């Protein structure tokens, strides 16, 4: 099976967690796009969605799924999103699609986080994937130095030769060279650095369930 087929498989498998009348939190990325396509097949049964990015909102609306503002909703039943890495405890690295801040917000509003990923994303220790960190532009240089002090090499993410600007008007640093042995402590520490909007470690908003696409089918990991 190709990686794309594995993504389709887990995107469809996530429908199992969607019940009639639910408000569904929707993440961002190529795997979530498969979930959105699957969600469209039950769109008349759900109350609607809260989206984590402009890209997902556009896809949801194009398929006729009602999108609510996060501020209009107190709590969501379920949040479905992909990951760049997930460990055996459900901690994740996210933000490859630059939507980490809104993803963390919608995840925090949700009772259950269902991570959908192909099995290349399962790791023992987080940190092989360059860690995305959303930062306020004026803080970039200092945060690069702060990461250097703990062995990380932070690079400003570019798009078409210019700094990528997130949905929130901020920039992204991608950090290599880290081995994140204690995800909660790491998330807590980096989140306090002035200018950090969101660090792409999801340990406080970790997954409750991971639907992992494998050659043998969908494997369900419960954390």
Q: Give the active site residues.
A: 103
25, 51, 84, 131: which one binds ligand 5RP (CB under 6 A): 84
In the bound state with ligand 5RP, the residue whose beta carbon lies nearer, of 141 and 155, is 155
Interface with ligand 5RP, residue 115, by CB under 6 A: no
Residues touching ligand 5RP, count (CB under 6 A):
17
**In Å, how far are 5, 40, 86, 121, 216 from 9, measured between CA atoms?**
6, 15, 18, 15, 11
In the bound state with ligand 5RP, the residue whose beta carbon lies nearer, of 29 and 152, is 29
Query: CB 151 → ligand 5RP: shortest distance, Å?
Result: 23
In the bound state with ligand 5RP, the residue whose beta carbon lies nearer, of 28 and 170, is 28
SS3 annotation, the chain: CCHHHHHHHHHHHHHHHCCCCCEEEECCCHHHHHHHHHHHHHCCCCCEEEECCHHHHHHHHHCCCCEECHHHCCCEEEEEECCCEECCCCCEECCCCCCHHHHHHHHHCEEEEEEEEEHHHECCCECCCCEEEEECHHHHHHHHHHHHHCCCEEEECEECCEECCCCCCCEEEEEECCCECCHHHHHHHHHCCCCEEEECEECCCCCCEEEEEECCEEEEEEC
Query: CB 209 → ligand 5RP: shortest distance, Å?
Result: 15
29, 90, 127, 130: which one binds ligand 5RP (CB under 6 A): 29
Whole-number Å distance between alpha carbons of 105 and 52: 8
Whole-number Å distance between alpha carbons of 74 and 63: 24
Interface with ligand 5RP, residue 11, by CB under 6 A: no
In the bound state with ligand 5RP, the residue whose beta carbon lies nearer, of 21 and 186, is 186
In the bound state with ligand 5RP, the residue whose beta carbon lies nearer, of 97 and 152, is 97
11, 25, 90, 95: which one binds ligand 5RP (CB under 6 A): 95
Q: Identify which range of 42-50, 77-85, 177-185, 208-216 contacts ligand 5RP by CB under 6 A.
A: 77-85
12, 31, 109, 139: which one binds ligand 5RP (CB under 6 A): 31
9, 38, 94, 110: which one binds ligand 5RP (CB under 6 A): 94
Contact footprint for ligand 5RP (CB under 6 A): 27-31, 81-84, 94-100, 103
């Amino acid at each position: 099976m190709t990686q794309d087929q594995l993504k389709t498989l887990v995107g469809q498998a996530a429908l199992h967690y969607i019940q009639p009348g639910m408000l569904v939190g929707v993440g961002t990325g190529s795997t979530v796009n498969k979930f959105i396509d699957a969600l469209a097949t039950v769109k008349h049964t759900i109350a609607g969605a809260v989206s984590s990015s402009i890209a997902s909102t556009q896809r949801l609306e194009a398929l006729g799924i009602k999108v609510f503002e996060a501020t209009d909703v107190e709590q969501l039943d379920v949040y479905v999103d992909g990951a760049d890495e997930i460990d055996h405890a459900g901690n994740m690295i996210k933000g490859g699609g630059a939507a980490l801040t809104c993803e963390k917000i919608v995840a925090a509003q949700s009772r259950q986080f269902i991570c959908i990923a192909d099995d290349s994303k399962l790791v023992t220790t987080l940190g092989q994937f360059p860690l995305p960190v959303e930062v306020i532009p004026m803080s970039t240089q200092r945060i690069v130095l702060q990461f250097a002090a703990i062995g990380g090499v932070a690079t400003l993410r570019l798009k078409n030769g210019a700094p990528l600007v997130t949905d929130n008007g901020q920039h992204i640093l991608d950090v290599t060279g880290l081995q994140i042995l204690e995800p909660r402590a790491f998330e807590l520490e980096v989140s306090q650095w002035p200018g950090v909007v969101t660090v792409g470690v999801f340990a406080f908003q970790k997954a409750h369930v991971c639907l992992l696409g494998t050659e043998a089918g969908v494997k369900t990991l419960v954390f």
